[in-house]
Amino acid sequence: ISPAGRKRRRGERDMSEELLYEKSCGAVVCCQKDNDIKYLLVCEHGGYWVFPIGHMETGESEHETALREVKEETGLDVTFIDGFRVKDEHNLAREGRPNTIKQTIYFLANYEDQTFVPQESEISQIALHDFESAMASLQFDSFKNILAQAHGFLVQMQKNA
């Protein structure tokens, strides 16, 4: 029964339950190789290919978090490509936390002439993919959507150059 005394409908949230937010930041990392844009994906130990992301630490800006997480997970020093920032939100009910919303901010970043090294505690593999291969490797629609936005942004930048 809701605070107003009426029964809640199935799926309706009790608004007295406080909604919690977690914030992470990361980047769609790319490089130019063989006259093509390549996208860096990291494979978590669970077998999912994702972008380098992680939780914000106290006092960090979104950019600082993204730079730190990319460096920790890949060993790369990246440079942000101005003008790209995408926010993804989803509920963590599948993880047993129905009152928690995870917000992830993605930037677009590139690197040149560096060797990536996976953070062994979190990452099993790192690979470079062209756009089509990266789309096929990503298991979640939200990641595919973010990659499509990043790729469209880069293609438009190249047309305008």
Write down the pLDDT at residue 3: 45
- What lies within 8 Å, CB to CB, of 95 at 6+ separation is none
| DSSP H or E stretch at residue 16 | none
- Asked if residue 4 has pLDDT above 60, the reply is no
- Asked if residue 6 has pLDDT above 50, the reply is no
- Asked if residue 110 has pLDDT above 70, the reply is yes
- Asked if residue 7 has pLDDT above 70, the reply is no
Check if the beta carbon of residue 122 is closer than 8 Å to that of residue 44: yes
Q: Could you tell me which residue, 138 or 97, shows the higher pLDDT? A: 138
- Reading phi first (left if > 0) and then psi (alpha if -120 to 50, else beta), residue 11 is in left
DSSP 3-state assignment of 34? coil
Write down the pLDDT at residue 14: 52
Q: What percentage of the chain has pLDDT greater than the value 70? A: 89
Place 11 in a pLDDT band, splitting at 50, 70 and 90: low
CA neighbor of 90 nearest in space, from 22, 139, 137: 22
Write down the pLDDT at residue 99: 85
Query: What mean pLDDT value characterizes the chain?
Result: 88
Place 28 in a pLDDT band, splitting at 50, 70 and 90: very high
Write down the pLDDT at residue 136: 97
